[in-house]
Amino acid sequence: ARPVIRPGEDKVIEITDGVGRGMVKSMNEALKMPTMALGEEIDMTDMLRLQKSLKASSEKNYGTKVTVTSFMVKAMSLALNEHPKINSKFGPGDANPPYYTVVGSHNISIAIDTDYGLVVPNIKDCANLSVIEIQNEIMRLAKDAKANKLKVNDIMGGTITLSNIGVIGTKDPRPIPFGGQSVIGASGRTMTLPRYNAKGELEPRQIMMIRWVADHRHLDGAGLARFSNSFKKYMEEPGEWLLALR
């Protein structure tokens, strides 16, 4: 005999909270933007070794455990120094002639998951912040976000976004730029995978995928790829920081 079909009850959910309504509005606007995307594999082995080695000393000397996210934010800022056009915003669609603005400050937005929904505050002027200062800002923003106490200034003014969604899950995310920003990056979870070393031997490495999505009205694939290459360099070769940091 056929099983008895017991259809579930459909429910219409109205989005009335501020965070939810804001996301609907920003995503509707974002989808009007023509975008391109490229992905890159980041070997995180040396960076994770460095981050682990600094945990104890950073907590002892600065009162905070430095995380990979803070290194990623700083690496983005260092890459923006080399490719400032990435840190830009396209002008109004009806402007004649069309134009874009290269923003001088690196106000890097970070996605934070809360009980109230996803919020994306930003860390102001990352070019002039140390990794520890960035870490302290991440902790402050995360604490205020989870308590629903973010200020307008925390939300406004972001110029580029990092979504480290890999801490929750997923291998190869594809984000959408929003808020007038031209570029967003989303990183997947770090996985132990076999890779060939310089001697042609297989060895286990810590691999993370990152996906960059950009406004294709004024940014092209070559420029985005060069920015991605710079970010990859700083994440895979921590010694490069000694040459780049002021």
Distance CA 191, CA 206 (A): 6
Contact 34, 215 (CB under 8 A): yes
Q: Record the tokens describing residue 154, joined without a space.
A: 């925390």
How far separated are the first and last CA of the chain, in Å rounded?
Answer: 76
19's tokens: 């965070």
Q: How far is CA 168 from CA 4, 144, 192, in A?
A: 38, 20, 17
C-alpha 199: how far from chain center: 34
**Catalytic entry in 43, 46, 144, 216:** 216
Residue 220 annotated to the active site: yes
CB atoms within 10 A of CB 86: 24
216 annotated active-site: yes
**Which of these, 39, 48, 47, 30, lies nearest to 120 by C-alpha position?**
30
Residues with active-site annotation: 216, 220
